[in-house]
Amino acid sequence: MTDKIVLSGDLTEIRFPTLLMSLYRERETGVLTLTGLTYRKSLYIEEGKIIFASSDDPDDRLGECLLRRNMITAQNYLDSAEQIRPGRRQGELVTA
């Protein structure tokens, strides 16, 4: 049997870096989900280490972030976006 504990709180009560450091020190495993009025973001944590992140905010996608930071060209972005298929992520396709 697995112990499933759901914790909730408000980030005004604790600084986000402090929360992450606590999860790391305690070697916690689980999903940390942050929600706002218009977004939902999740960090998947295994033994205190972040192993994956997801967001429903389109501006958080890797391609968009790289493009905004001028780390890839618009053509790189478009080329990789055309290759996205189920089971493939844009991060596997983007090359500078």
- The span from the CA of 23 to the CA of 42, in Å, is 14
pTM value is: 0.64
Q: Smallest Cα–Cα separation from 63: which of 51, 54, 74?
A: 74
27 torsion bin: left (phi>0), alpha (psi -120 to 50), beta (else): left
Q: Are 39 and 56 in contact (CB under 8 A)?
A: yes
Write out pLDDT tens, residues 72-85.
899 988 888 787 77
Q: What is the pLDDT of residue 26?
A: 93
Write out pLDDT tens, residues 2-61.
567 777 888 888 899 999 999 999 999 999 999 888 889 999 999 999 999 888 887 787
Phi, psi at 16, each rounded to 5°:
-60, -45
Q: What is the pLDDT of residue 48?
A: 95
Q: Are 63 and 72 in contact (CB under 8 A)?
A: yes
